[in-house]
Chain A
Amino acid sequence: MRLLTRLRYRLRALLGGARAEQDLADEIAFHLEAQVAAYVEQGLDSAEARTRARREFGSPDVVAEQCRDARGVRLWGDALRDVRAGWRAALRAPGTMVAAVLTLALGIGSATAMFTVIDAVLLRPLPFPAADRLVRADQVVAPGALDVIAANTTVLAEVGILQPEIEVNLGAIAEPQRLRASRISAGVLPMLGIAPRLGRSFTPDDMDGRSAPVVLLAHGLWQRRFAGRDDIVGQSVRIDGTTREVVGVLPAGALGPLADPDVVLPATTRGLPPPELWGSSYYQFLARVRDGGGVQAATGDLRRMAPIIRDSYPWRMPDVFGAEIAALPLLESLVGDVRQRLLLLGLAVGLLLLTACANVATLVLARAVVREREFALRAAIGASSRRLARQLLTETLALWMCGGLLGWGVAHVALTALQAWLPPDMPRLAAPSLDVRAWLGCLGFTLLTGLVFGLLPAWRIARIDLLPFLKTNDGGVATTAGRQVVVKALVVAQLASAVVLVSGSVLLSRSLWNLARVSPGFDAGDVVSALLTPDRAACADDAACATFYANVRDRLAGLPQVSAVGFASAAPLDAGPLAFAIDIEGHPVAPGAPAHTASRLVTTPGYLDAVDQPVLRGRDFVEADASSGDLVVLVNEAFVRRYWPGQDPIGKRIRYVWQPTWRRVVGVVGDVRHAGLAADAPLAFHVPYGQDVPRDLTVFVESSAPWLQVGRELRQVVRATHPDVPVSKLGPLRGLVDASLAGTSALLSLLSAFGGVVLLLGAIGTYGVLASSVSTRRREIGIRLALGASPRSVRQLVLRDAFRLCAAAFALGLPAAWWTARQAEHLLFGTSGRDLTAQLAVLVVMTAVALLAAGLPALRAARVDPLRAVRDA
């Protein structure tokens, strides 16, 4: 009740500000009149009564002020007055204030944008019901394993498998079209809480490969290709040469961050020949943990089932197969790789914000010194130092609010830039938008930094004794020593932030340089590659397929300027070939030991020529290998080093674990870094096309003609050979090499951008400190010069200051930089946080910046006129 009264009172006093002021004045006036009347009654004449009453009452203004104080609403009125006063003061130095607001806007805006990205990618829950109980296995599983897991689990309530990104052909209506597709098991959609917009989901019957083929359309394709027609359900579409019935349409963005397909196909988990069901296609395993069970329990459950799954394979699997499988929370498994990169950028932006704030805080401090006389005057007429500190804090906060307001605009631009600059494969990157959370973040950044950095000048003004100013009429010398300490600390913080960011940028550019110089094991120059995906229309059986590819090859080879044509089942550096379990003659696998695995690439003659991958021993495949019963393979150097060091590998034999027939090694090829430039080349073997018959192949054309022309010709050739075969992923092979560098280079450009801004702010801060130190030490410098010091020594005096600041920044920044580099180690390649060259580079950059920032003040110091300096000061 009392609280309510007080609240009402405050509110009334606050809202009826003018009214309350009038009431207060009236009340005091009434009192004085009553007192005067009382004195007149006692016999005083009215003039004397008035004087006496006034004297006894004291200053009405002071009383009114005390009343406002007592009411507790004074803070608000004062704050408004302070803001107005600050505004007037700011108008006297508009340039400085504009610079300050812009600096703050930059810092707060980038922080808000970065926060929005981090929030959207790392923090927000997935858009699925009870998403915290969804897990994904860290190993892929064969579709055949799903039934085994479903039958044996005790912890998982729902299970499903998902192949998020495959590609399929949509039947030729006008031109054959390549679509993104996902394969899912029937359990996935209910598990994710997704109900179809039209029609039905998959049923277990759709998955056993016996009922009629079906397909679900995603919202986008349904709109694009089928004009959003409701009667699409029940109609047929041709996908990869198979006619499938459309059984439903999914809502827009249904699978969220898991996949973004055009069509969704049922995963076949039964009824296929064993190699397909158990050996050649792999899925991500998704599950929902039962109430009460956790991720730990799910992992335990999967490991417990490993032997059961292993025994279900139609061929013998190694005894440790699946023993290390682990369940990860779905969100974590989606963002795992990205977390570090984002946190690194978050750190960079945090440092940027810190630097911007420190920079502006030094400006505010400098302005406070200019205004010390004003403050001293106010202190003299009775303002308490606390009151002055509050005024300064209010002013600073108002400045910060301006920065924050403008920062909200900056955040829009920064977010767009971030989204464009960050690698597009970053999960959930499309999602960020500036919503309420971002707004709160922006407000939080503004208030937090505003308070922290606003308290600094306020604290200073509250502590110093202002009265001497008035007495001595001295130009502010008394306080500068103390002020300089705070300002210098702020500048050191800025420079130290710059050390961290510059060193990060240097390390990343070293990594990029190292990566770019890594030989991928092939020559991408003058090679154009494209994925050909003939479906049953062109590839009814293996022989038809072979004919199709042979025709394409012959036509391409007949083009002018083409020097080599070849096919392979995967393009280098692009996802990479799958690893297969193999037996190696002479290397028996002990019971319990893992099977040998190696990456398999199916190639044709001409492939090695086209990409300039060397044959080190033996021979390349020849045309005859395709049809000969003599099964042959090529192995790479890494394979030989691992299994046959110092031996002649030609004639040795390997085989798939599920096949009895051995394949003879006929040649050794150079290593190719399939998994990316930063990773070592995997053990690999090549199988000639014909002895294995994958349907989709990537074609490689080496030609001296411009790649666009080659690409055009390639498309024409494929269309002329068979009109229904889509050509996708067409581009110069060089593009795949560049793409492999894209992640590092995106990170590098972002970090360098932040580093550059921070460095610039640090330089400005250094310049400000030195310049103001020179101007306040003019008298001292004048005396030195008058006593015979050389201008050179005066210059050195200033430069020494600059280097001291730099040295302090180094002492602080380097350990921080080392720590950061250690946290982000796997983003680096061929270098580390303790890289001496990198540290030297940072040293050089920082010294150069310090010199630049110190140059002007140093020159000015040397040009001080001793006579004038001593006289004026």
Chain B
Amino acid sequence: MSRPPDMLQGMLDLLILRVLQLESMHGWAIGHRIRQLSDEVLQVQQGSLYPALHKLEEQGWITSTWGESENRRRAKYYALTRAGRRRVAEETAQWERLSAAIALVVRTT
């Protein structure tokens, strides 16, 4: 019932958008790709992936279409919208600023 903290929630959104920047994917593949890209460090809670996807879609940053998966099953594919692309750029910039700032603090103390 308890939601992940805001920080994590925002991060998950960014990760999803980032992953979708390269190509459109279905939900399972998005989770898989995040784990892969982060060298298995970021384990996305599978259950929280879908609410996040639906929220992003509702906000108009991604769209979904039903397509056929690699093993010929019906799957829902998500793709970035134009607004989504802008959003990735903004969020990425913001994240870099934030992480640089945190890194600064962590290093100096």
Contacts A5-B60, A10-B58 known; list 5 others, CB within 8 Å: A31-B28, A34-B29, A35-B46, A62-B47, A69-B51
| A residues less than 8 Å from B81 (CB atoms) | 5
Residues of A contacting B57 in the complex (Cβ-Cβ under 8 angstroms): 9, 71
Say whether A2 contacts B60, CB under 8 Å.
Answer: yes
CB distance from B27 to the nearest CB of A (A): 5
How would residues 7 to 39 of chain A score, 1 for a CB under 8 Å from any chain B CB and 0 otherwise?
Answer: 001100000000000010011101101110110
B41 at the interface (CB under 8 A from A): no
CB-based contact B76/A57 at 8 Å: no
A38-71 contact mask (Cβ, 8 Å, vs B): 1 or 0: 1000000000000000001111001100110111
- The complex places the Cα of A37 from the Cα of B75 at a distance, in Å, of 14
B46 x A58 contact (CB < 8 A): yes
Quick one: which of A31, A35, A71 contacts B54, CB cutoff 8 A?
Answer: A71
A660 interface residue, CB < 8 Å from B?
no
Which A residues have a C-beta under 8 Å from some C-beta of B?
Answer: 1-2, 5-6, 9-10, 23, 26-28, 30-31, 33-35, 37-38, 56-59, 62-63, 66-67, 69-72, 382
Contact with A along B27-60 (1 / 0, CB 8 A): 1110010000000000001111011101101111
Nearest residue (CB) in B for A60 is B47
In the complex, A284→B45 CA distance in Å? 84
Known: A6-B60, A58-B47. A30 touches B54 (CB 8 A): no
Whether A37 contacts B51 by the Cβ 8 Å rule is no
Shortest Cβ distance from residue B3 to the other chain A in the assembled complex, whole angstroms: 9
Q: Give min CB distance, B36 to chain A, whole Å.
A: 12
Contact of A35 among B28, B45, B52, B66 (CB under 8 A): B28
Binary per-residue interface labels of chain B (71-105) against chain A in the complex, 1 for a CB within 8 Å, 0 otherwise? 10111100001010000000000000000000000
Q: Which of B50, B69, B74 has the most CB of A within 10 A?
A: B50
* Complex partner residue of A56 from B46, B76, B83, CB under 8 angstroms: B46
Q: Given A2-B60, A6-B59, check contact A26 B47 (CB 8 Å).
A: no
Instruction: Provide the bound-state CA to CA distance between A59 and B1, in Å.
Output: 11
CA distance in complex: A62, B60 (Å): 24
Chain A proximity mask over B18-31: 1 for CB below 8 Å, otherwise 0? 00000000111100
Residues of B within 8 A of A27 (CB): 27, 50, 75-76
Beyond A6-B60, A70-B58, A72-B58, whether A28 also contacts B76 by CB under 8 A is no
A-B CB proximity, top 7 nearest:
A58-B47, A70-B55, A34-B28, A66-B51, A5-B60, A70-B54, A67-B54
- Bound-state CA distance A367–B13 (Å) is 44
A33 to B48, CA, bound (A): 17
User: Is A9 within 8 A of B75, CB to CB?
Assistant: no
**B69 close to A63 (CB less than 8 A):** no
> B73–A30 contact, CB under 8 A?
yes
Query: Which A residue's beta carbon lies closest to that of B83?
Result: A2
Sample of 27 A–B contacts (CB below 8 Å): A5-B81, A6-B59, A9-B60, A10-B58, A26-B76, A30-B26, A30-B28, A30-B69, A31-B28, A34-B69, A35-B28, A37-B71, A57-B47, A58-B46, A59-B47, A63-B47, A63-B51, A66-B48, A66-B51, A67-B50, A69-B51, A70-B51, A70-B52, A70-B55, A71-B54, A71-B55, A72-B58
How many angstroms from the CA of A35 to the CA of B31 in the assembled complex?
Answer: 10
Identity of the chain A residue whose Cβ is nearest the Cβ of B58 in the assembled complex: A71
* B71 near A382: Cβ-Cβ < 8 Å: no
**CB-nearest residue of chain A to B32:** A38
Inter-chain contacts of A31 with B (CB < 8 A): 27-28, 46, 50
Residues of A within 8 A of B26 (CB): 30, 34
**Which residue from chain A places its CB closest to the CB of B52 in the assembled complex?**
A70
Residue from B45, B58, B75 within 8 A of A30 (CB atoms):
B75
Would B50 and A33 count as touching, CB distance under 8 A?
no
Chain B residues in 8 Å Cβ range of A1: 83
Report if A66-B50 is in contact (Cβ < 8 Å); known contacts: A2-B83, A27-B27, A31-B27.
yes
Known contacts: A6-B59, A9-B57, A35-B46. The answer to whether A67 contacts B51 by CB under 8 A is yes
The answer to whether B27 touches A382 (Cβ under 8 A) is: no
User: How far is B76's CA from A696's CA once the two chains are assembled, in angstroms?
Assistant: 94
Bound CA–CA A59/B73 (angstroms): 23
Q: How far is the CB of B16 from chain A (nearest CB, A)?
A: 13
- How many whole Å from A19's CB to the nearest CB in chain B? 11
Q: Which residues of A contact B71 (CB under 8 A)?
A: 37
For the complex, give the distance between the alpha carbons of A34 and B54 in Å.
19
Please name all residues of chain A whose beta carbon is closer than 8 Å to the beta carbon of B28 when the two chains form the complex: 30-31, 34-35
Q: How far is the CA of A5 from the CA of B59 in the complex (A)?
A: 8
Tell me the nearest residue of chain B to A38, going by C-beta: B32
Whole-angstrom CA separation of A6 from B58 in the bound complex: 6
What CA separation (Å) do A38 and B50 show in the bound complex?
19
**What residues of B have a CB within 8 angstroms of the CB of A35 in the complex?**
28, 46
Rounded to whole angstroms, the CA-CA distance of A104 and B59 in the bound complex is: 41
- Say how far B12's CB is from chain A's closest CB, in angstroms: 12
Collect the chain B residues with CB atoms within 8 Å of residue A57's CB.
46-47
Instruction: Point out which of A2, A33, A34, A57 has the most chain B C-beta atoms below 10 A from its C-beta.
Output: A34
Minimum CB–CB distance for B13 against chain A, Å = 11
Are B46 and A30 in contact, with the CB atoms below 8 A?
A: no
A23 to B57, CA, bound (A): 14
Looking at A9, A31, A33, A63, the one whose CB has the most chain B CB atoms below 10 A away is: A31
What's the minimum C-beta distance from A429 to chain B, rounded to whole angstroms?
54
In the assembled complex, the CB of B31 is this many whole angstroms from the nearest CB of chain A, namely 8
Q: Report chain B residues within 8 Å CB of A38.
A: 32
Provide the bound-state CA to CA distance between A187 and B63, in Å: 70
**Least CB distance, B6 to chain A, in whole angstroms:** 15
Complex CA distance for A31 and B48, rounded to whole angstroms: 13
CA A38 – CA B29 in complex, angstroms? 11
Specify the chain A residue showing the minimal Cβ separation from B82.
A1
| B80 vs chain A, min Cβ distance (A) | 13
Q: How many Å from the CB of A92 to the closest CB on chain B?
A: 29
Q: Bound complex: CA of A10 vs CA of B60, how far in Å? A: 11
- Collect the chain B residues with CB atoms within 8 Å of residue A33's CB: 73
Least CB distance from A20 to B in Å reads: 10
User: With A and B bound together, what is the CA distance between A72 and B57 in angstroms?
Assistant: 11
Distance in Å from the Cβ of A663 to the closest Cβ of chain B?
94
A9 to B28, CA, bound (A): 22
CB nearest neighbor in A for B59: A6
For the complex, give the distance between the alpha carbons of A37 and B74 in Å.
Answer: 15
Residues of A within 8 A of B51 (CB): 63, 66-67, 69-70
Minimum CB–CB distance for B85 against chain A, Å:
13
Bound CA–CA A31/B30 (angstroms): 11
CB contacts (< 8 Å) of B76 on chain A: these are 23, 26-27, 30
Q: Inside 8 A of B52's CB, which chain A residues have their CB?
A: 70
A836 smallest CB distance to B (angstroms): 63
Q: How far is the CA of A382 from the CA of B2 in the complex (A)?
A: 11
* Complex Cα–Cα for A10 and B50 (A): 17
Q: Are the CB atoms of B69 and A382 closer together than 8 Å?
A: no
The distance in angstroms between the C-alpha atoms of A184 and B45, with both chains bound, is 87
> How many whole Å from B68's CB to the nearest CB in chain A?
11
Residue of A nearest to B56 (CB): A70
B47 A9 Cβ-Cβ under 8 A? no
Give Cα A534 to B43, complex, Å: 108
> In the complex, A499 Cα to B28 Cα: how many Å?
69
CB distance from B91 to the nearest CB of A (A): 16
Within the assembled complex, what's the spacing in Å between the Cα atoms of A58 and B76?
20
Closest to B1 in A: A382
CB-nearest residue of chain B relative to A28?
B50
Instruction: Give the complex CA separation of A866 and B48 in angstroms.
Output: 57
Give A31 to B83 CA distance when docked, in angstroms: 27
Residues of A within 8 A of B47 (CB): 57-59, 62-63, 66
Best-surrounded residue of B28, B54, B83 (most CB of chain A within 10 A) = B54
The reply to whether B74 and A30 contact each other, CB–CB distance below 8 Å, is yes
Task: Give Cα A67 to B64, complex, Å.
Answer: 14
- Measured CB to CB, the nearest residue on chain A to B47 is A58
Across the interface, name the chain B residue whose C-beta is closest to A59. Answer: B47
Task: Decide: A63 and B50 in contact? CB cutoff 8 A.
Answer: yes
The residues of B that contact A28 with a CB separation of less than 8 Å are: 50
| Distance between Cα atoms of A63 and B27 in the complex (Å) | 13
- Separation of A67 and B76 alpha carbons in the complex (Å): 14
Residues of B within 8 A of A30 (CB): 26-28, 69, 73-76
